[in-house]
């Protein structure tokens, strides 16, 4: 590949924080109409390199050329004006505004009267942007009513109002299900066909072969290698990132399922799932597997008491109240790490220490019944060390931690609680493979302690490698049950597609 074929070229990029090199002589480039994946575990330098591209650092060293001209990317507005757009994982769309208003935000056409907006022109110009890129979005719909994938398309359309030639997407599929992922990929392929270059940052290695042309791997701020995606297997990428294969990431299965902890009988939520019955044993990892729309999360939420359903749930032969709540479930000994940690897991604006201790406040209180700062800090320091949370600061706000470290804090919270049963809904979603290995170890530790675990994951290899049993769901019904030790990813995927119970 000659330099003439590159739209963006970064050479020997160095960025330091307090004397520590986050990027160490990094080379990276992208061609027009190419999707170039950038991968690496937490701390590898992906976010730092993306922020250099976004113009958020004015003290980086190295050379950058864009469309053949040497440029200095030291201001976000300047970067956008050049033709480089960045879509962050935390979308900046305004949910209470319409699609058209979000697309034209900051460039609203003025009306005849001072301070007014020409609504007809705004809609016409927003539609022109959508037509240009083939996005089918309802102009007058409020963004809060759209799926996450379509919200991402709104953000892309907003960025593409200007003549963007390079688009950087940071973990765009992290919160998406399978159908939404494919919709987003279809839009990316359309942009690629129009000559737009894309930098695609992702933790989901299995997706790379569906969408990327090339992949560059970062480790400890350095480029390990850059390859055509056709030349890279997932084990090879894992080895480049971590020095070990994905198979080696999973802990040995040393748990020993025992007595029945949880018995679910005839659990039904009309129109969502029907007649769900199973048992969960002490020290067992039971997986709920299925494709998007199978009812996995809805069943888990009903067991936890977050959603109403009819049927029986017994914990250690004691009938749980039909009209229970998450608070009552926690008191009974059932915990749940929900799929959306931003919405349902983290307490934003509070410290790591508070987030770790929130579920055991009674144990962190002193003789007077008031919370003991000493106990809160002692508990948090113990769990931070155990979970290897970075930075190891109990006073840090949780929102400032990486996604993987936020997930460690949430898992650590439940380790403090020591529940009898814990439901893990997508516990490794949006985190790097190195942190995933730590989460796998923690899941196995919980099982060895005798905790019964219900595991939900879109990554079938996790279910196959971790679960003792796998219940297969389709359209809200149980269609099969597999032994985790005796199946593989292909067999599980085939079972999820079959309609009839075997």
Domain with CATH 3.40.50.300 in the chain: 3-249, 255-333+419-502
Our CA angle for 288, 289, 293, nearest 5°, is 105
Split at pLDDT 50, 70, 90, the class of 501 is very low
Question: What is residue 26's predicted lDDT score, i.e. its pLDDT?
Answer: 95
**Other C-beta atoms within 10 Å of 444: how many?**
19
Confidence check: pLDDT of 344 > 60: no
pLDDT for the residue 347: 66
3-state secondary structure of 247: helix
Quote the CA–CA distance of 27 and 216 in Å, as a whole number. 10
Euclidean distance between CA atoms 161 and 157, whole angstroms: 6
Pinpoint the alpha helices (H) of 305-457.
326-332, 341-344, 352-357, 373-387, 403-417, 433-448
Q: Which CATH superfamily is domain 3-249 in?
A: P-loop containing nucleotide triphosphate hydrolases (3.40.50.300)
pLDDT(133) > 90: no
Is residue 36 within 8 A of residue 198, CB to CB? The reply is yes
Q: What is the pLDDT, as a whole number, of residue 15?
A: 93
Quick one: pLDDT at residue 263? 97
Instruction: List the alpha helices (DSSP H) in 134-170.
Output: 148-159
DSSP 98: B
Contact 166, 8 (CB under 8 A): yes
- At 430-445, the pLDDT tens digits run 676 677 888 898 899 8
pLDDT of residue 499 exceeding 60: no
Give me the pLDDT at residue 361, please. Answer: 65
Between 117 and 4, the more confident residue is 117
Mean pLDDT on 471-500: 83
Alpha-carbon Rg for the chain, nearest whole angstrom, is 24
Residues 197-240 pLDDT 10s: 999 998 778 788 889 999 999 988 899 999 999 998 877 887 88
Asked if the peptide bond before residue 391 counts as cis, ω within 30 degrees of 0, the response is yes
Could you give the angle at the alpha carbon of 311 between the alpha carbons of 270 and 410, nearest 5°?
90
- Asked whether residue 38 carries a pLDDT value surpassing 90, the answer given is yes
Q: Which of 185-194, 206-215, 484-493 has the lowest mean pLDDT?
A: 484-493
Average pLDDT over residues 387-394: 80
Contact 482, 499 (CB under 8 A): no
What is d(CA 14, CA 22) in angstroms, rounded to the nearest whole number?
Answer: 8
What's the fold here for domain 255-333+419-502?
Rossmann fold (3.40.50)
* Euclidean distance between CA atoms 195 and 210, whole angstroms: 18
Closest CA to 313 of 262, 349, 369, 269: 262
Percent of the chain at pLDDT > 90 equals 38
State the chain's mean pLDDT as an integer: 85
pLDDT of residue 197: 95
Q: With cut-offs at 50, 70 and 90, classify the pLDDT of residue 288.
A: very high
Q: How confident is the model at residue 367 (pLDDT cuts 50, 70, 90)?
A: low
Least confident of 10-24, 134-148, 257-271, 422-436: 422-436
**What pLDDT sits at residue 47?**
84
């Amino acid at each position: 590949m000659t330099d003439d074929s590159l739209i963006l070229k970064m050479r020997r990029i160095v960025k330091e924080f307090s004397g520590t090199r986050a990027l160490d002589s990094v080379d990276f480039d992208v061609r027009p109409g190419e999707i170039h994946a950038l991968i690496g575990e937490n701390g590898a330098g992906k976010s730092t390199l993306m922020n250099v591209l976004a113009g958020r650092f004015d003290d980086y060293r190295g050379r950058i050329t864009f469309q053949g001209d040497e440029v200095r990317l030291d201001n976000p507005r300047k970067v956008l004006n050049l033709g480089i757009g960045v879509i962050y994982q935390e979308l900046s769309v305004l949910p209470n505004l319409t699609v058209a208003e979000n697309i034209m935000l900051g460039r609203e056409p003025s009306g005849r009267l001072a301070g007014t907006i020409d609504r007809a022109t705004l809609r016409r110009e927003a539609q022109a942007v959508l037509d240009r890129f083939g996005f089918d979005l309802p102009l007058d719909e409020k963004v809060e009513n759209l799926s996450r994938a379509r919200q991402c398309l709104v953000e892309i359309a907003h960025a593409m109002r200007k003549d963007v030639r390079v688009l950087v997407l940071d973990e765009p599929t992290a919160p998406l299900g399978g159908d939404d992922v494919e919709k987003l990929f279809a839009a990316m392929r359309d942009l690629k066909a129009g000559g737009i270059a894309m930098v695609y940052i992702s933790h989901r290695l299995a997706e790379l072969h569906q969408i990327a042309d090339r992949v560059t791997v970062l480790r400890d701020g350095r480029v390990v290698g850059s390859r055509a995606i056709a030349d890279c297997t997932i084990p090879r990428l894992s080895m480049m990132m971590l020095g070990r294969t994905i198979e080696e990431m999973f802990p040995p299965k040393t748990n020993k399922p025992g007595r029945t902890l949880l018995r679910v009988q005839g659990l039904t939520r009309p129109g969502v799932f029907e007649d769900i019955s199973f048992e969960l044993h002490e020290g067992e990892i039971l997986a709920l597997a299925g494709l998007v729309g199978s009812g996995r999360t809805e069943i888990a939420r009903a067991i936890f008491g977050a959603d109403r359903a009819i049927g029986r749930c017994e914990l250690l032969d004691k009938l749980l109240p039909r009209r229970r709540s998450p608070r009552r479930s926690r008191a009974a000994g059932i915990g749940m790490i929900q799929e959306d940690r931003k919405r349902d897991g983290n307490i934003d604006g509070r410290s790591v220490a508070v987030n770790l201790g929130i579920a055991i406040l009674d144990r962190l209180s002193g003789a007077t019944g008031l919370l003991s700062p000493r106990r809160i800090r002692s508990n948090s320091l113990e769990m931070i060390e155990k979970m290897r949370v970075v930075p190891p600061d109990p006073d840090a706000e949780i929102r400032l931690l990486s996604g993987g470290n936020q997930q460690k804090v949430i898992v650590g919270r439940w380790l403090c609680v020591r529940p009898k049963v814990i439901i893990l809904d997508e516990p490794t979603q949006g985190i790097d493979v190195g942190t995933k290995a730590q989460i796998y170890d923690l899941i196995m530790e919980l099982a060895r302690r005798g905790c019964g675990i219900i595991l939900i994951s879109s990554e079938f290899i996790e279910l196959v490698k971790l679960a003792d049993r796998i219940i297969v769901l389709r359209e809200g019904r149980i269609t099969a049950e597999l032994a985790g030790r005796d199946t593989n990813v292909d067999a599980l995927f085939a079972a999820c597609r079959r309609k009839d119970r075997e």
